[in-house]
Amino acid sequence: MSAPFDADRMHAAYAADVVDAGGRADAAFCRVNMVSSLDGAATLRGRSGTLGDAQDQRLMSVLRSHADVVLVGSGTVAAEGYGGAAVHEADAAWRASRGRDAQPRFAVVSSRLELGPSHPFFAEAVRRPILVTSARAPRGRLEALADVADVIVAGTDRVDLGAALAELAARGLRSVLSEGGPGLFGALSEADLVDEACVTLSPMLVAGGASRIATSSHEAEHRLRLVHAIQGERMLFLRYARA
């Protein structure tokens, strides 16, 4: 599909889909949403938000409104200023009209637990957030965060994302939207857990040393198919699914 950007049309496009976790039993469906410059940069001046525009923000709200939980890495939470409501008022009403909670939940992936309980991600959360960590997480910090978040311990030495998604699904959170950052996207890709990738292409050249939108210590080849390309006033919104 190639068409102008329209929030209602995008809602219809995503609502028509059947949630499919790629054939993985008892797993969550994982959609990733990222923004990239024309030359592959994931950030500008240290933030991904500076690559986007108002329509990109609106699309993010639409995508979040179709998710049970929004998954994000702790570094991205710190850099992008996460906290408060996840979706715009119109999208909250869209969810509520379909019998869902007006806001999806947020989940943060963190091994070192550098975000404290007073961080806006926890303190300003509209719904109780989720912390995804490993068994090696610092005990004192984990106990403090357990007061403000539900905790999922997945993996021994590092976070096992496959186990984390399975646990989210077991808790009824089967539709996951990951917003990165690049390390989390790379880890999900390496583990073959990405069912869809939505990429906003920003008409900027950044150069410099910014990261790609997915980074990992190992290459992972997974072929996707183009589902739609939606033209915004400045941006191009691309959506890919498992081939």
User: Quick one: pLDDT at residue 23?
Assistant: 47
Q: Which of 5, 30, 14 lies closest to 180, judged by CA?
A: 30
DSSP labels, the chain = -EEE--HHHHHHHHHTSPP--TT-TT--EEEEEEEEETT--S-BTTBSGGG--HHHHHHHHHHHHT-SEEEEEHHHHHHHT--S-SS-HHHHHHHHTTTS-SS-EEEEE-SS--S-TTSHHHHT-SS--EEEE-TTS-HHHHHHHTTTSEEEE--SSS--HHHHHHHHHHTT--EEEE---HHHHHHHHHTT--SEEEEEEES----TTPPPS---SS-----EEEEEEEE-SS-EEEEEEE-
Low-confidence stretches of the chain (pLDDT beneath 70): 1-5, 15-27
The answer to whether the bond into 181 is cis (omega within 30° of 0) is yes
Parallel, antiparallel or unpaired: strands 29-37 and 175-178? parallel
pLDDT, residue 21, reads 45
In this prediction, residue 24 carries a pLDDT of: 52
Closest to 123 (Cα-Cα) out of 94, 178, 83, 67 = 83
Nearest to 21 by CA among 169, 214, 225: 169
∠ CA(119), CA(122), CA(126), 5° rounding?
130
- CA torsion sign, 174 to 175 to 179 to 184? positive
* Rounded-to-integer distance, Cα 55 and Cα 53, Å: 6
What per-residue confidence (pLDDT) applies to 4? Answer: 58
Backbone angles phi, psi at 53, to 5 degrees: -145, -170
Supply the pLDDT for residue 18: 44
| Alpha carbons 135 and 156: distance in angstroms, whole number | 5
End-to-end CA distance of the chain: 16
For the chain, the C-alpha Rg in angstroms (whole number) is 17
Q: Are strands 150-153 and 130-133 parallel, antiparallel or unpaired?
A: parallel
Looking at residue 195, its pLDDT comes to: 93
